[in-house]
Amino acid sequence: MEKKRPKYRIVSLIGYQAKIKLVPSNLIYNGLIIDETKNTLLVRTSEGVVKRFPKKSIMLTILGADDHEYTVNGKNILGVLKERTKRPRHKWSKTSIK
């Protein structure tokens, strides 16, 4: 019998390792998310530089606790943590396990 992994719902992005792809220019940055506002993410890149990215123009790949990669369009994570927890279902959350 296959062992099922628990479903995860990432709500707070702070502290996760992430790969950020800028949509118009296709530049990719790897780093740690250190702060989040309504419209931006603050990331410490692997070079040690702190950069601010607008959520509207990124594709975000987060490495979860179960070593699974979650990819989300930045437009789906607009808003602050308090607003996102009130949404009935996150479009970017993992809903089924195969």
Residues 17-80, CATH architecture: Roll (2.30)
In contact, 39 and 60? CB cutoff 8 Å: no
Lowest mean per-residue pLDDT among 3-7, 8-12, 38-42: 3-7
pLDDT at 95: 46
**What does the pLDDT average to over 17-29?**
92
Helices (runs of H) and strands (runs of E) counted in the chain = 1, 6
- The domain locations on the chain are 17-80
* Measured distance CA(79)–CA(66) in Å, rounded: 25
Residue 75 pLDDT class (50, 70, 90 cuts): confident
Residue 96 pLDDT class (50, 70, 90 cuts): very low
pLDDT at 69: 86
Residue 97 pLDDT class (50, 70, 90 cuts): very low
Residues 6 or more apart in contact with residue 25 via CB below 8 angstroms: none
